[in-house]
Structure 1
Amino acid sequence: MKRLTTALVLTALTAGFAASASAADIKVQVFSVDNKATLTVTKDGQPLANYPVEIQGINAMTNTGSNVTSENGSITVTNYSNQPENVKFIVNDENGQPIVARRFLGRDS
């Protein structure tokens, strides 16, 4: 009975670790300068093209015209406002869990 319990616990721990490891395969990086921010989405180090990105706090339609990543896995937004803006990028991983990145963008000068 003790061996069965130990085996079940180890199986549960291993399954939980595998699930969290696969979710960690999708990564987001944001690089920002002045009034522009570029988000890049990768999986296992490779860019994810046409991957959906939700953008909040800035009008994305005045930027790239699309809320999916380009062929190189990136999407760029520009703050054309005369006021600084906070921008929030939301990318859902394969399990539907959000990965959130935020940036403060300066105003258009």
Structure 2
Amino acid sequence: MTKVTSIITATLLSTTFAAGAMAADLSMDVATQDNLATVSLTQNGQAVANYPVQIQGQTYLTSEDGTLTYKNYAPTARTLKIVAEDSAGNLIVKQGFVARDDG
């Protein structure tokens, strides 16, 4: 019985690590300054072009260099919810605070 438990535990751990490694293939960085948020997507260290990213529920595509810039045109500052989904269906969620648009 101990061998079976050990095998099941080892299988579950290796599956968990493999899923984590797959999700880690796609990474997202968010940098904010004033009323701008710049999102960068990479996969295995390479920029990901034309990849869908949701900001505040609206979908945008990254440029050829794997980035997109969002400008807050609202009259108030806000915290943005930024979401990308990897090929396995795992969500990568980040937040970024942007100031209000001064014109």
**TM-score (norm. length: structure 1):** 0.80
Which residue of structure 2 lines up, in the alignment, with residue 75 of structure 1? 68
Greater strand content: 2
Q: 1:107 aligns with which of 70, 75, 100?
A: 100
Which residue of structure 2 lines up, in the alignment, with residue 91 of structure 1? 84
Q: Which runs of 4+ in 1 moved over 3 A?
A: 1-5
- Report the Cα distance in structure 2 between the residues aligned to 1:89 and 1:10, rounded to whole angstroms: 35
Preserved contact between residue 50 and residue 62 of structure 2 (Cα < 8 Å): yes
Structure 2: runs of 5 or more not aligned: none
- Asked if 1:50 is matched to 2:53, the reply is no
Alpha-carbon shift at residue 101 of structure 1 (Å): 1.1
Which residue of structure 2 lines up, in the alignment, with residue 16 of structure 1? 16
Alpha-carbon shift at residue 74 of structure 1 (Å): 0.8
- Asked if 1:31 is matched to 2:42, the reply is no
Q: Give 3-state SS (helix, strand or coil) of 1:70's partner.
A: coil
Which digits, 9 at most, give the CA deviation of each residue in 1:15-58, with x for residues without a partner? 2211111111211101111000100011111111111111107x
Preserved contact between residue 22 and residue 88 of structure 2 (Cα < 8 Å): no
Q: Give 3-state SS (helix, strand or coil) of 1:103's partner.
A: strand
| Number of residue pairs matched by the alignment | 102
Percent identity of paired positions between Structure 1 and Structure 2: 41
Structure 1: runs of 5 or more not aligned: 61-65
**TM-score (norm. length: structure 2):** 0.84
- Report the Cα distance in structure 2 between the residues aligned to 1:82 and 1:2, rounded to whole angstroms: 63
